[in-house]
Amino acid sequence: MKRRTPIGIELVKRGVVKEADIEAAIEYQKKHPNKKIGDILNILNLCPQKKLIEAMGDILGERVIILTTDDIKVQEDKYLPISICKTCKAVVFEVIGKRVKVCFSDTSNSRAVEEVNSILEKSGFEMEKFLTFETNIENVIASFESKEEATISNSGDITKLVDTIIRSAMDKRASDIHIEPLENEIRVRFRVDGELITVANFPKDKQTQLIGRLKAISNMYQERQGAQDGTINLYSDYNIRVATEPTVEGEKFCLRLLKKNEGLRSIFDLGFPQDEGLLKKFFDKRNSITIVAAPTGQGKTTTLYSILDYLNRSEINITTVEDPVEIRVPGINQIEIDRQSSFASALRAILRSDPDIILLGEVRDLETAETAIQAGQTGHYVLSTIHTINAIEVITRLRKMGISDYDISSTLATSVSQRLLRRICPHCAIKREFTEDEKKMITKIGARYQAKFDFANKFTYDTKGCKKCNHTGYLDRIGVFEILELTDEIRDLIVSGASSLKIRDLASQQGYRPLIVDALNKVLDGVTTLEEVDKRLVLY
């Protein structure tokens, strides 16, 4: 296959830009590696927009447009959800009959083009593809979001209002929606990257209608004022779990947004150390249990599925038991328990189905723990989660449930603890060197846990905030991990009834490092900040 000449060279050959312009663009790209040369030439204003986009279209064989808000001839989210527009960097700008004109910032991104085309095809439309600059796409999407926020605040139709709140949360990547009655108003907050942000406040007189609509679409009892659980199934891309609780000002609603078919991420992408050998050592097991520990909302299930993705092979039978199934994976048998079932009863049933690996959503009680232990002792590899603060305390938690020291030491192979830290927003972060005080503090913490940090060629960032990160300075999250492998010596300590402190001391001698060490390594890698680490894990 003939390789295409880089677009920068083609633009120079055609006299559209000079070599010096390309050199300046390349220097800019070193600091902004996700930007393409054509977009950078536009950002730096090194060539008239019209001349540049037409030349790029000719080189790439694409139709082009300099997209502005004036070109949008359709309702913003009628054909593509704003969340898809942002992910695929694509905007529908005109529809003629069944032909839909879609503008992309990168028509060579086949995955984005195919995803948009698939969505439109399912609705009976035919896509026409156009190319524009990324900044043009971003400006149009920003105008969509501004209109959407205004709609949330001004909507008079209660059905439209609830729908707009939910769709806005999806577009902002929210994991939860909190709808809270206060004394004089109703407050709506979204949890984005672990942080709550207020997005709207409504008059108190909307409260009865709002509660009624939420209960109706969640299949809840209208007349009941106590705590209830329900689900919303109106959105094809999301499972939405709903919980209510009575407060002195009325019923509060919390909506948990779970995206369907989101796809698996590599465990390395989640933040696990980039070492294939560690994966094999810690997770390629038999006749045992691996438990991931963390508080609610810290990515335990995502980590388990990434481990499953690593272990999944055609010759292995994998079965999961979950409440609910959050990520659907081809080739894996997934069971969703209902209100009449329990993890323990479902686990006992699947043990008769010849599984090699079992993912158990959560170890909640003694019955589930005993059944999981039994599965691990009879030739299966069990992966599960538990709510506790760190990898060492998994042992304490199992003891408190009533599992014997012998069963823990003979079956538990690995315990993992994790937290999610916010990533620095790459669009607005300001790079700087570490101060001497910061270096001293990091070095001091490292010494406490037998960890050394090298500051050579390392930089940190100050967070500024921009539209892309909701003006927080952070965008998306990354996991930090600690891993306890149960060696023979640690098993002997457990059987002898040793305390968690003694187990921690021995584990530290054998290479165990707590969460804070991995977190500080990610600070040195420029992924997160000391302020974020202190907020989530406490540095000082």
**Torsional class of 45: left (φ above 0), alpha (ψ -120 to 50), beta (otherwise):** left
**Confidence (pLDDT) at 5:** 76
pLDDT exceeds cutoff 50 at 245: yes
Beta-carbon contacts of 330 under 8 Å, excluding residues fewer than 6 positions away, are: none
**Confidence (pLDDT) at 156:** 64
Work out the average pLDDT over 413-428.
Answer: 94
DSSP 35: S
**Torsional class of 526: left (φ above 0), alpha (ψ -120 to 50), beta (otherwise):** left
Assess whether the previous peptide bond of 33 is cis (omega < 30° from 0).
no
Residue 378, Cβ density class (10 Å: 0-12 exposed, 13-18 middle, ≥19 buried):
exposed
Give dist(CA 78, CA 80) in Å, integer: 6
Angstrom distances, CA of residue 241 to CA of 6, 164, 165, 273:
48, 17, 15, 33
**Confidence (pLDDT) at 2:** 47
Work out the average pLDDT over 425-433.
Answer: 90
Pairing of strands 250-259, 381-386: unpaired
pLDDT exceeds cutoff 60 at 32: yes
Work out the average pLDDT over 185-212.
Answer: 91
Angle at the Cα of 516 (from 515 to 518), degrees rounded to 5? 70
Which of the residue ranges 241-250, 327-336, 447-456, 514-523 would you say has the lowest mean pLDDT? 327-336
What architecture is domain 276-537?
3-Layer(aba) Sandwich (3.40)
Q: Where are the domains of the chain?
A: 1-61, 155-259, 276-537
Mean pLDDT, all residues of the chain: 90
Q: Which residue did the predictor score with more confidence, 2 or 240?
A: 240
Structure-token match 């990324």, residue found: 134
Work out the average pLDDT over 12-41.
Answer: 89
**Confidence (pLDDT) at 151:** 64
The string of DSSP codes covering 501-513 is HHHHHHHHHTT--
Quick: pLDDT tens for 116-165. 998 898 888 999 999 999 999 988 988 887 776 666 666 668 898 999 99
CA 88 to chain CA centroid, nearest Å: 16
Give dist(CA 141, CA 66) in Å, integer: 14
Q: Which residues pair with 94 in a beta bridge?
A: 101
Whole-structure pTM value: 0.71
Work out the average pLDDT over 372-392.
Answer: 93
Which of the residue ranges 177-191, 264-278, 522-536 would you say has the lowest mean pLDDT? 264-278
Quick: pLDDT tens for 455-466. 999 999 998 888
C-alpha dihedral, 218 to 238 to 178 to 143, nearest 10°: -130
The dotted CATH code for 155-259 is 3.30.450.90
pLDDT exceeds cutoff 80 at 340: no
Q: How confident is the model at residue 171 (pLDDT cuts 50, 70, 90)?
A: confident
Indicate the SS3 state at residue 359.
strand
- pLDDT over 70 percentage in the chain: 96
DSSP 454: -
Work out the average pLDDT over 423-447.
Answer: 93
- Taking residue 419's Cβ as centre, other Cβ atoms within 10 Å add up to 25
Quick: pLDDT tens for 80-107. 888 788 888 999 999 999 999 999 999 9
Quick: pLDDT tens for 500-523. 999 999 999 999 999 999 999 999
Quick: pLDDT tens for 393-407. 999 999 999 999 999
Q: Are 52 and 16 in contact (CB under 8 A)?
A: yes
pLDDT exceeds cutoff 70 at 350: yes
